[in-house]
Structure 1
């Protein structure tokens, strides 16, 4: 329930997931700033890890690395934390920095506009319980809305005719019990591979319809024993060493994403590992459906959460036959057959290559973010975070921050650290606002797309990483085409000459002497 909120805060943030909590904690750690408000459309903090409640939901990056560098957790129950455990961790960190008291839930930000006279952002917020509009202003606006936010709409005809429950995996119906039911699952990406082993033994029959293939690699998830948890907690340096070791191991995988001879050799080796694993673990009748014909890494890899073994279940059928229609009794496939269903689950992914989705952000000149991006073939941002014409505004996990090999929490921290260094002169009263130069943004965008063209993400497969137009031109606003240490290094040393600082109502300056 939305409580009364102040009309102004120094920092306003949209969202309450990893990025938002990282921002609030770092503001307090670095600058002692506590004047921040968070606005969250859900009823609790946690972002995507609160929203996704489907059976088997878990992270696919080791939790020791998928956590804040400033808030290590020695008590992870397993290598790959579940969604519930990640939410508990975020609750703990938010509590440590007294952030939850600064959060307003069931509050949907639908418009933000820069007010140049006051040098403030005005936020228009919808109370989802009453429909009332609230107004809040802030000096600095941060978008921490996440990447996988908007479920992809059902593109199969006849969905409204189905007699039973039909829902997207990201909107899992907690009131629907699949026990003893005939369930149709559409999709076979990371989410579907977690759902299948989690529910197959409960269902009467599970029918999975796959649309594409994914590289499935051997599992890495094992429990942490009480012994190891005690070592992590009480022996100085051990947890930090583990985190750094996992970071190095994961970072080594980035070699396989470059279109070089070394990258090709790396991919071929792990394609062999994955192929042997699939053939050894999954039923032979499904091998042709499972083993891809594209390069490893072009789509997100799947660390097997038990999916391949689950395919041996007698009450499971996997089909590549395209679904052409949803009918009252289930789904009709291209061959004319009808598969009966009591429940249909759509694990069909999200609308990607969208940022600040559903929020109209209006900059200094009256132009919206989407209008700004019409100058390009898709979303982009300087340093993966900032846009010309949008002063004192930063996106966290903005365009091109996703990684195909390591923790996005690290990328979020890099975004936060970079932004807080850039705004320091404004915080110190040396300027009224800061804004990235247009030429710097254009240069950064060109360099980013040029680098991406030399990666496996442009090697030919159809992937949610890329947006493709009618002429076949691709634009990738999702992934970062360099090693993460490079992103970290860039966050340490902003190129201040790429930024405009307005020192007074009439004068602007750059910090030309800085790197």
Structure 2
């Protein structure tokens, strides 16, 4: 082994010309929680979940939540048609941190779900940040001040104002902005025309009782509203061209058979059960029940694979179930069984719907509608059906673009990129939460962000947690903004397309899971399960982002180091300064010195 020359010196170590000048650090202490502001658009499930978690996970946050409706609830405020309810069990369709032992039905009605999210908003203090009946009509990013400038219309006063926020989060979901059907002559009809998402409770008796009623569409809302209104009408004409795979009730094994077959009212949860779950002695039982119920939503995705034995078995089982529910009527079966693979689109339990098709009051019409006259609906084969009321259960637009101009860093409206006919033509994004050229803009429960397992509320929680981590990164390290790079976005997009290439979702069917070129571009789903998404996104890949520094940090990225002290040390709280010390029984080596809530 050679010896070290002790007399040799390193010119690099002492050559001041090769070293930057000392940086004059600010005299303020390091504070990981600089003031930040965020606007959340939407006060439905996604908006409430996001607002609650941002309040808890981002200290020193100024938060505002806008929603155009008069009440909290999102899709459950917008959709109030007869029979509206969730087909996912109530005790799974709730936030993990806000369990509700008081659900009255196994499958809750829309009104009860809305009340739950109203109560949750109040419980966690989100109600103080709500601006209801306020509609966002535009949002423009300004690089100079690194803020979104958001124009908001007060729907009561009729006035407009502009607010600035560092972060903008779209939590509007997809099931809003009702899409009326484009049928010639619909505007000439002299009877009542009502969309399921624009239901008028006050006139329900006038438009239903002893009337000849048409229901156009057989998606989820059409399948719910038809059996609900059938007892009230004199005649029901059901116009439905699409064939859907109708399934058993989700988690039907945990509820009464009546909820699966022929009973749209679902299954009431006994009062004694609710009282027990809410009691101190019943907490363990309630947790065990929630775990049993939620575990059934994590059973894997074998049935999603195109051409698989699991998908073939699913087809066989669903065909048998549909046959049973229509009393093995060969004429109805010929009209109902789809020619595409199960899981090409979402399965629909639709309790009571198939049974209603056998009712002598129902005309099931699959021939396309040609036109609407002043008093009837005419089909392309020349038939005419006299009706007094038309219910359009035609859902919502099949795209994920915002309903307002959203202008990013380069001056481009995101609708001109994502929208039909746009530069890309579908919502190409990064991790189902951000898009390049739109700094500090996030979206929840939208394109590529929704795994095909798990439950919707927890999926919202996952995304909100990721957003909070991104905001804290900007907050703590002298940044003003972040956005994903185009390269990272391209790679993620390629992974998404590769993941779905062998799935049944790529079969040819009309589905709101899809948008873009060809019949097979899946835009809704995350490329994996809910647990997969949770693990993959737990720690953001900061190398996939481009950052804009705050102006004061332009000369040195470590400006935030400050004086060398922390704000906690300046506060001088001994308990805070020694929070790394716990009892020997409480020591957890896996989390020791980790976690954003502590500096150790």
Question: When the two structures are superposed, what TM-score results if normalisation uses the length of structure 2?
Answer: 0.79
Q: Distance between the aligned counterparts of 1:361 and 1:70, measured in 2?
A: 32
1:43 counterpart = 2:87: no
1:123 to 145, 150, 165: 150
Give the 5 Å matches for 1:38-437.
38-177=65-204, 178-219=208-249, 220=252, 221=259, 222-234=267-279, 235-252=282-299, 254-259=301-306, 264-283=308-327, 284=329, 285-356=331-402, 358-373=403-418, 374-404=422-452, 406-437=454-485
8 Å contact 1:455–1:481 — kept in the other structure?
no
Q: Distance between the aligned counterparts of 2:556 and 2:470, measured in 1?
A: 15
Match of 1:465 in 2: 513
Larger Rg: 2
Match of 2:8 in 1: none
- CA separation of 1:39 and 1:355: change in aligned 2, threshold 3 A: same
What secondary structure is seen at the aligned counterpart in 2 of 1:124?
Answer: strand
Q: Calculate the aligned-residue CA RMSD, in Å.
A: 2.2
Q: Distance between the aligned counterparts of 1:136 and 1:73, measured in 2?
A: 36
Match of 1:3 in 2: none
Q: Deviations over 1:83-120 (max 9, x none)?
A: 10110100110011122222112211111111222221
8 Å contact 1:11–1:35 — kept in the other structure?
yes
Structure 1 position 131, deviation (Å): 3.2
Structure 1 position 468, deviation (Å): 4.9
Q: Deviations over 1:215-270 (max 9, x none)?
A: 111233432222332343232333333333333322225221123x6xx2222222
Q: Distance between the aligned counterparts of 2:435 and 2:291, measured in 1?
A: 33
Q: Deviations over 1:412-439 (max 9, x none)?
A: 1111111111221222253222222221
1:481 counterpart = 2:508: no
What secondary structure is seen at the aligned counterpart in 2 of 1:251?
Answer: coil
Q: Distance between the aligned counterparts of 2:146 and 2:556, measured in 1?
A: 14
Alignment: residue pair count: 497
Q: Distance between the aligned counterparts of 1:478 and 1:359, measured in 2?
A: 20
Structure 1 position 467, deviation (Å): 2.4
Match of 1:496 in 2: 542
Specify every segment of 5 or more residues in structure 1 that has no aligned partner in the other structure, as ranges: 1-7, 511-515
What secondary structure is seen at the aligned counterpart in 2 of 1:412?
Answer: helix
- CA separation of 1:213 and 1:225: change in aligned 2, threshold 3 A: same
- CA separation of 1:509 and 1:86: change in aligned 2, threshold 3 A: farther
What secondary structure is seen at the aligned counterpart in 2 of 1:475?
Answer: coil
Q: Which moved more, 1:11-20 or 1:394-403?
A: 394-403
Q: Deviations over 1:10-31 (max 9, x none)?
A: 1111111111111111122224
What secondary structure is seen at the aligned counterpart in 2 of 1:336?
Answer: coil
Specify every segment of 5 or more residues in structure 2 that has no aligned partner in the other structure, as ranges: 1-34, 253-258, 260-266, 559-600
Q: Distance between the aligned counterparts of 2:372 and 2:485, measured in 1?
A: 50
Q: Distance between the aligned counterparts of 2:516 and 2:142, measured in 1?
A: 35
Q: Deviations over 1:158-215 (max 9, x none)?
A: 1011111112211122233211111000111211111111110011111101111111
Structure 1 position 364, deviation (Å): 1.6
8 Å contact 1:123–1:137 — kept in the other structure?
yes
Q: Which moved more, 1:198-207 or 1:427-436?
A: 427-436
Q: Distance between the aligned counterparts of 1:103 and 1:176, measured in 2?
A: 30
More strand by share: 1
Q: Distance between the aligned counterparts of 1:403 and 1:176, measured in 2?
A: 39
Q: Distance between the aligned counterparts of 2:68 and 2:36, measured in 1?
A: 19
Q: Distance between the aligned counterparts of 2:165 and 2:354, measured in 1?
A: 50
Structure 1 position 473, deviation (Å): 5.7
8 Å contact 1:500–1:508 — kept in the other structure?
no
- CA separation of 1:405 and 1:426: change in aligned 2, threshold 3 A: closer
8 Å contact 2:508–2:519 — kept in the other structure?
no
Q: Distance between the aligned counterparts of 1:321 and 1:439, measured in 2?
A: 47
8 Å contact 1:168–1:345 — kept in the other structure?
yes
What secondary structure is seen at the aligned counterpart in 1 of 2:479?
Answer: coil
8 Å contact 1:216–1:304 — kept in the other structure?
yes
Q: Deviations over 1:117-158 (max 9, x none)?
A: 222111001222343211111111111111122222322111
Q: Distance between the aligned counterparts of 1:149 and 1:355, measured in 2?
A: 12
8 Å contact 1:148–1:352 — kept in the other structure?
no
Q: Which moved more, 1:331-340 or 1:277-286?
A: 277-286
Q: Deviations over 1:294-344 (max 9, x none)?
A: 211112111132112222323222121221110111201122221111110
